[in-house]
Chains A and B, each alone.
Chain A
Amino acid sequence: MAQKLLLEHDHVPDIHTFDVYRGKGGYRAVEKAFKAMSPDEVLEEVKKSGLRGRGGAGFPTGMKWSFLAKPEGKPRYLVCNADESEPGTFKDRYLMTRLPHLLIEGMIVSSFALGANTSYIYVRGEMMPQIRILEKAIAEAKSAGFLGKNILGSGYDLDLFVQPGGGAYICGEETALLESLEGKRGNPRIKPPFPAIAGLWGCPTVVNNVESIAAVVPIINDGGDEYAKRGNGKSTGTKLISASGNLVKPGVYEIELGLPVEEFIYSEEYCGGIANGKKLKAVVAGGSSVPILPANLILKTATGNPRLMSYESLSDGGFQTGTMLGSGGFIAFDEDACIVRNTWNYTRFYHHESCGQCSPCREGTGWMEKVLHRLEHGHGKMSDIDLLVDVARKIEGNTICPLGDAAAWPVASAIRHFRDEFEWHVTHANEAMERNYVNGQ
């Protein structure tokens, strides 16, 4: 079994308490950073590690940090994006439940590197238990002297706050998150300016995913070069994957990037194959927003190479024959799953979660949902399929934030790879209804 970096101690009883976490070597990274390193050296280690943002876009974290503007007389902020609400993704929730101190330790080191004296963890509103766990952990860390004034005698102050969101998917978009954190309606801002220049309350801000910040801890402990040795090519280190769907053993797994997809699905160490001895039909590899791929394309790329769990390998072939690693929400569908129904379900989600600010997304997501609802419930027309492709194309790339793209990609890719199934829903409407609603799925 590959060595774990984040979830090494996740099964230790009471690891969510300060004492147990400290006993397992916790807060070593804080001590190392504060006693032996300067903020720039911490940044340098993160750059060397090649860590890429774990929230979905995969933007190099070190580079994001180095873009942070440092004007005189203005505070800087670090905001942790814990508004995990992508369907199929639940890794951050697990991490915060089991290892809240890992996140707090990462926050302290990262804030130190960025020179932020106030940092926020913006947690999705539905995660009330995790908010309580985090608040308790912050109080423990504070009384142990790792938070507050003059941490470890270094003269550096840090206040860390947990802010519950209202439970909107859109607040996972970084500028909408900042708006929400400021107490406004969670509408994405129009970029530029980017948060690194003008973010929270107009001050330079870095927004990072929970897992990215947690990964800073092993990077500082072992060094950036050591971290970069793990993984595959430009996809360095380990990644938490939330596996769900028709798998024998769904759950959160920490994998080394570059693991073959086939091994991840079928090996006993990970998902253990498809449940009930059925065959794999399709996989959504990175949370509901990324394009769906049929079994043959997820196991092997279009050029015949084995597909690996890494940023590059999964996006091999572009959107024609590839997909994205995204946030690591790995959803597997067996041969009985209905792609039309599943696509409709995703569209329902995006229709519900669109903020309504810009017209293509506000109107287009509802339109796609209605057309797919009609297709799924036996009233579809052949022309609906091309209509969906066209509407998806008109949304994609024309919106303020990536939610429009996220709504369009699943529809476009499902039709690209499973057009025959959509057509079957039109030509055999009664059979499709029977299969999905009478024979019980």
Chain B
Amino acid sequence: MSDQVKLTIDGISVEVDPGTTILNAARQIGGDLVPPAMCYYSKLEGSGGKCRTCLVKVSKGSEKDPRPMPKLVASCRTTVMDGMEVQNLTSPEVIEARKGVVEMLLINHPLDCPICDQAGECDLQNLGYAHGASGTRYEFERRTFDKIDIGDKIQLHMTRCILCYRCVFTADQITNNRVHGILGRGDTSEISTYIEKAITNDFSGNVIDVCPVGALTDKTFRFTNRVWFTKPVDAHRNCPTCKGKVTLWYKGEDVIRVTGRKNHYGEVEDFICNTCRFEKKKTADWVIENPTPIERTSVISSNHYDTLIPLPVIQKNKVLIKANEEEFARTKKI
């Protein structure tokens, strides 16, 4: 088509529809040059622009106006222009700024991954691993909050929250009234519902799926298992409220959790209803499709590949070699 917009990201050119954001243009190219996004969620209108991890440098504004943009811009909210040149990984300025943002996101995060249900599928973990520093320079007490129950199925643990606002946008989209929002200001602001009321909506469980960290968790799954011991399987059922396309998480023969189907960027394809999520936990309820494709680099797929090459340290240590072999045998059985 002739009305496509041409731009280059890190020197790689791509043609996209007018009105596309830089982030989505980068996702069309794929690979490492896609800026990480903690708050942007393509299914949620108005999301994005808040976490600042997706900052990129626009070194050439457009063909008409080639001036560079004066500041780094949030790629999730900046639309592309014809002839735009964007630098992500090739700009030291961007790398530096992103490192700063990751550090800021982590200074008040409890880093309680060993007891957090999200560990293993946490966007913040991945972000910290890819872009963060190994240590922290923050030497003060981290902020803490009490846990709040939002209804009998969802628990909110604000201490872990990075205030991405995704759940707020979700609640705004699924309900007519404002029931879920932000209280307070600055670094003491917190997600809350109206006087700790339950969100009474068939789709309220989706706030769990959109949460990039372990702040909103499924109370029917909490503390039952680590995600990397479970096996995800795509399945569907004929649901009167939602499309019924889900991922079942198996431990042995039991379905221990149901979530929406997430893509490569951690975004669900379709929102699912609470009945599918919380109540249909038998294999008989579902039509199984196929195992969910999981990135090889994800911890969820660890030990699920026969050709997995153990880390060098495991290859040398005799005790670990034996443990590894046993683990191999056990996973194969599952």
Contacts and interface: CB of A to CB of B under 8 A. Distances in A.
B50 A397 contact: no
Chain A residues touching B, range: 20 to 34
Interface stretch (A58-66, A76-84, A311-319, A358-366): A358-366
Given A190-B77, A367-B138, A359 B186 contact: no
A352 B189 CA distance: 11
Interface in A344-382: 351-360, 362-367, 370
A356 B191 CA distance: 11
A370 B143 CA distance: 13
A400 interface: yes
A398 B55 contact: yes
Contacts of A365: 186-187
A128 interface: no
Interface string B111-143: 000000000000000000000000001101000
A interface, over-half SS: helix
Contact of B74 (A190, A354, A355, A362): A190
Nearest to B53: A359
A252 interface: no
A32 interface: no
Contact of A394 (B104, B163, B182): B104
A389 to B, nearest CB: 12
B142 to A, nearest CB: 11
Given A366-B186, A398-B97, A358 B107 contact: no
A362 B49 contact: no
Given A359-B52, A359-B104, A360-B104, A398 B72 contact: yes
Given A185-B182, A394-B103, A397-B71, A363 B187 contact: yes
A356 B138 contact: no
A129 to B, nearest CB: 25
A430 B165 CA distance: 45
B186 A351 contact: yes
B184 interface: yes
B100 interface: yes
A137 to B, nearest CB: 32
Contacts of B199: none
Contacts of A370: 140
Contacts of B108: 363, 366
Interface of B: 48-53, 55, 71-72, 74, 77, 96-97, 100-101, 103-105, 107-108, 137-138, 140, 162-163, 165, 181-182, 184-189
Given A353-B186, A358-B51, A359-B101, 6 more contacts: A185-B182, A355-B189, A359-B162, A394-B104, A397-B72, A399-B52
Interface of A: 168, 170, 185, 190, 351-360, 362-367, 370, 387, 393-395, 397-400
